[in-house]
């Protein structure tokens, strides 16, 4: 079948801004997007820069945006990605472009290194090997599947506005070690993950879950890290107050009380932070987005409360 590839090109030595270039070619019914890209490079333009290696969804080097979605090119069939015959290929987002479709993975690896991706063994030499229980390792296996492709980072909405954010891949990796029963320094790890750029900065946009070609579900790992951090006593954080206030206001009234959420997230006694909210309040007022100070209970609020109570009871017994 005939398809057109619309590829984003950028050569820092020649181009001031990126541009799109079209290539038309014949591809097989079962060809992957990567098969087509390699054909273009071999038959039409040898200067096209892209990364690939295994062609089997193992090495993690061919992650790019295909028709707007972060994907592994070797795992994506042309016929699925582009039923209309137009394959638009762009480099991954949120990472600097080196040339054409090649991005600088430096910031990605820097974040992974920052979470100390290794096991901290016990201080004293153990008498014999440690046998990890199957049950505990089951949790870890899902994250070990990560191939470090960076697809999750490509569309992370927090990384986009704050490049200091550790990001979904590094945080999933951190969870891999926190959940491993052989690790001995969870307290230290969780403490540092609770700081700015860590687990509480994620906004639950779900993009990383959608993007991951290995079903690592990084956002779920971040939520699990938050639960662990709370269990370890790291609760003095806006993120913890925010989620507690969110849940409590829905429990009390059946819906979110945004005014209360803003104040309780900062803490009632945190006067400088509360004063700092004033400009935000003024902007919200101007835009007609100021929540009403009179928050009313929604019809059926008692049913919502009952669900909360049941869940809390269940949580206590597990
Ligand atoms: S869920 Fe969190 S980590 Fe995942 S993409 Fe969204 S903001 Fe980033
Ligand atoms: S978590 Fe998934 S998307 Fe992110 S780097 Fe690992 S395999 Fe790739
Ligand atoms: S080429 Fe290795 S994952 Fe695609």
Per-residue pLDDT tens digits for 11-56:
999 999 999 999 999 999 999 999 999 999 999 999 999 999 999 9
**Which ligand sits nearest to residue 149's alpha carbon?**
2
Enumerate the β-bridge partners of residue 218.
Answer: none
Q: Which residue has the tokens 């820097």?
A: 110
Q: Which of 37-46, 127-136, 278-287 is predicted most confidently? A: 37-46
Window from 10-24, 214-228, 269-283 with minimum mean pLDDT: 269-283
Please give the pLDDT value at position 293. 79
CA distance 205 to 160: 12
**Which ligand sits nearest to residue 167's alpha carbon?**
1
Q: 273 by DSSP, 3-state: which?
A: helix
**Which ligand sits nearest to residue 58's alpha carbon?**
3
Please give the pLDDT value at position 126. 81
Q: 69 by DSSP, 3-state: which?
A: strand
Residues of the chain with CATH 3.10.20.30: 2-103
* Ligand 1 cavity residues, CB under 6 Å: 156-158, 168, 202-208, 218-219, 222
Please give the pLDDT value at position 277. 87
Residues of the chain with CATH 1.10.1060.10: 106-231
Mean pLDDT, the chain, rounded, equals: 94
Residue with the bigger pLDDT between 90 and 317: it is 90
Name the pairing type of β-strands 2-9 and 86-90.
parallel
Q: Which atom of ligand 2 is nearest to the CA of 143?
A: 1
Fold that domain 2-103 belongs to in CATH:
Ubiquitin-like (UB roll) (3.10.20)
**115 pLDDT tier (thresholds 50, 70, 90):** very high
CA distance 170 to 198: 10
**Is 94 in contact with 88 (CB distance < 8 Å)?**
no
CA-closest residue to ligand 2 atom 3: 212
3: CB partners within 8 A, 6+ apart: 24, 25, 27, 36, 78, 82, 85, 86, 87
CA distance 271 to 181: 42
Please give the pLDDT value at position 240. 94
Please give the pLDDT value at position 157. 97
% of the chain surpassing 70 pLDDT: 100
Fold that domain 106-231 belongs to in CATH:
Fumarate Reductase Iron-sulfur Protein; Chain B, domain 2 (1.10.1060)
pTM of the model: 0.90
**Is 136 in contact with 179 (CB distance < 8 Å)?**
yes
Task: Give mean pLDDT, residues 218-247.
Answer: 95
- For the Cβ of 211 lying below 6 angstroms from any atom of ligand 2, the answer is yes
Please give the pLDDT value at position 125. 83
Please give the pLDDT value at position 288. 87
Token pair belonging to 145: 């599947």
CA-closest residue to ligand 1 atom 8: 156
Q: Which atom of ligand 1 is nearest to the CA of 202?
A: 2
Cα-to-centroid distance, 138 and ligand 2 (Å) = 18
116: CB partners within 8 A, 6+ apart: 174, 177, 189
């Amino acid at each position: 079948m005939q398809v057109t590839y619309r590829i984003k090109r950028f050569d820092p030595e020649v181009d001031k801004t990126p541009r799109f270039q079209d290539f038309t070619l014949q591809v097989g019914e079962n060809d992957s997007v990567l098969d087509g890209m390699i054909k273009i490079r071999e038959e039409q333009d040898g200067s096209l820069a892209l990364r690939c290696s295994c062609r089997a969804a193992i090495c993690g080097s061919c992650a790019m945006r295909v028709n707007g979605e972060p994907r592994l090119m070797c795992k994506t069939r042309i016929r699925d990605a582009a039923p209309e015959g137009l394959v638009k290929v762009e480099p991954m987002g949120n990472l600097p472009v080196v040339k054409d479709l090649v991005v600088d993975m430096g910031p990605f690896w820097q974040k992974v290194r920052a979470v100390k991706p290794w096991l901290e063994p016990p201080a004293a030499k153990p008498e014999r090997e440690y046998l990890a229980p199957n049950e505990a390792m089951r949790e870890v296996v899902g994250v070990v599947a990560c191939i470090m492709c960076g697809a999750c980072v490509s569309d992370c909405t927090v990384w986009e506005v704050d490049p200091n954010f550790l990001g979904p891949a590094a945080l999933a990796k951190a969870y891999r070690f926190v959940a491993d029963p052989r690790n001995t320094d969870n307290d230290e790890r969780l403490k540092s993950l609770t700081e700015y750029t860590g687990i509480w900065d994620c906004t639950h946009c779900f993009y990383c879950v959608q993007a991951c070609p290995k079903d690592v579900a990084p956002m779920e790992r971040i939520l699990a890290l938050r639960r662990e951090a709370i269990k370890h006593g790291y609760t003095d954080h806006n993120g913890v107050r925010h989620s507690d206030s969110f849940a409590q206001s829905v429990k009390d009234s059946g819906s979110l009380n945004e005014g209360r959420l803003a104040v309780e997230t900062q803490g009632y006694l945190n006067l400088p932070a509360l004063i700092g909210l004033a400009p935000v309040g003024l902007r919200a007022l101007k835009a007609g987005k100021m929540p009403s100070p009179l928050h009313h209970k929604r019809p059926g609020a008692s049913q919502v409360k009952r669900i909360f109570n049941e869940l809390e009871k269940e949580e206590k017994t597990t």
